Structure 1
């Protein structure tokens, strides 16, 4: 998976990237003033939006190209701090992105967790490991906002992968489904080409 992810960034095949950030985050995020973890963050502008809400924002991203693009495209100066994973620290801002394998990341604990593109990108056989590692980085009472997809996997195959409700709740029993809408028009072209007519984006949040 790691090499496929890096190859997508090298080739610019990043259809999941939302240039203006995620509207569900902006609608449903109710946390204030906390340290927020954003796994597999890419170059998302959600990091900036979260910072503007008063958070210390920490992203983790495997692709160095993605990390550098985030700072360049948003004209944010940064410093590089060497360590087990290279940290790109925004100058005079509360944004840091660690570049490396998420499973090796250990700079917790975090008060909140935002996942828009990580859980759906992780192959099903690695999801349990991903969630377990994420849980180890969070405080017990951490706030969570997770955005997943539901679609007929017999018609189209990921990534992004569908994550059914029962699986989400098996990982995070405290979550509630707060929104859902059909987002097939913004889904990968390969989904529509395969004949998929519906792709539901589901927003989960703890009370």
Structure 2
């Protein structure tokens, strides 16, 4: 899976993964991170998620990274924001309006700085298995010691549906984030599977991960 895959998904508006409302697991479990308003929040592979807006009401600085320029521009236009746009090196473009900043470019090279809080609703599950180790390594590299992650994953028989979104099991979460404190906060067995898919079981899980 390469960048062109995601560019084509956005260009063709095949974005069933995008939600029109704030994700309920964000509103229900964000408090478990003991977040402070002044702590910076990182949202990898943020798309045009309205979760950014909810987070920006709770924090002074929310930073996303998104590969697609279509998605990045859509976030600001759909909220009637006119962002400041700055062209950076290494193919990165920074869009900023008030509390929300989005780096449009490659997740692995975006100059985002360090964070105390991370919200991952659709990033790890967007990664094929071969990319997940590198994804997590980069994620933990920008998280301060004692920093917290609210991670949301999906669990279903992978052979019953091609990802993304991919299934990430409990064992894999614990293996990928070994060395961190890991708490399974909730499993939602009533989560909606993608439309037009016959899947025998499908659940969504919320995790609290703390970097030691």
Residues 102-133 of structure 1: per-residue CA shift (max 9 Å, x gap) = 01113211111100000000111000000001
Number of aligned residue pairs: give it. Answer: 201
Aligned to 2:9: 8
Aligned to 2:26: 25
User: 2:164 aligns to what SS in structure 1?
Assistant: coil
CA distance in 1, matches of 2:44, 2:156: 23
CA distance in 2, matches of 1:19, 1:154: 28
1:181 aligns with 2:184: no
Which of 80, 95, 99 is matched with 1:88 structurally?
A: 95
Contact kept, 8 Å, 1:24 with 1:203, in 2: the verdict is: yes
Aligned ranges 1:1-207 → 2 under 5 Å: 1-30=2-31, 31-33=35-37, 34-84=39-89, 85-90=92-97, 93-172=98-177, 173-183=180-190, 185=192, 187-190=193-196, 192=197, 195-206=198-209
Q: CA deviation at 1:154?
A: 2.2
TM-score by length of 1: 0.93
User: 1:197 aligns to what SS in structure 2?
Assistant: coil
CA distance in 2, matches of 1:171, 1:110: 19
User: 1:51 aligns to what SS in structure 2?
Assistant: helix
User: 1:149 aligns to what SS in structure 2?
Assistant: strand
> Structure 1: 5+ residue runs without aligned partners?
none
Contact kept, 8 Å, 2:66 with 2:102, in 1: the verdict is: yes
TM-score by length of 2: 0.91
